[in-house]
Amino acid sequence: MVFLVTYELRTLDMDYTKLYSFLEKDMGKSAIHVLRDSWWVELEGKPVITQLCDQVRSFMGEKDVLFIIDITDQATNGWLASSSWKWLQERSKI
């Protein structure tokens, strides 16, 4: 399954190093940073989205906002690096 994880970091004095590391290396099987505040993350099985939100939020400040959505096999389009599209195509049935 592939999830879009997008956020807005509003806590100016917070160090987000652990958040970035979690998204890139620990949250799932594979991840790619597609936009400044957005990642595609591949996870195995059928994770519960509320648990995913709780995990990511644990690395964020109180003022920060977060949105996670399952984009597995969903029609997608946009203007991104070709490497991003290749990453998604390799993990999608579409």
CATH number for the domain harbouring residue 74: 3.30.70
What is the widest separation between alpha-carbon atoms in the chain? 41
Cα–Cα distances in angstroms (integers) from residue 46 to residues 31, 84, 94, in the given order: 17, 23, 19
In this predicted structure, what is the pLDDT of residue 77? 86
Q: What is the pLDDT of residue 73?
A: 83
* pLDDT number for residue 94: 52
pLDDT at 11: 94
pLDDT tens-place string over residues 62-82 = 999 999 999 998 888 888 899
Reading phi first (left if > 0) and then psi (alpha if -120 to 50, else beta), residue 63 is in alpha
Q: How many domains does the chain have?
A: 1
Model confidence pLDDT, tens digit, residues 24-73: 999 999 999 999 999 999 999 888 999 999 999 999 999 999 999 999 98
Domain hosting 55: range is 2-90
Task: Please list the residues that pair with 65 across neighbouring strands.
Answer: 8
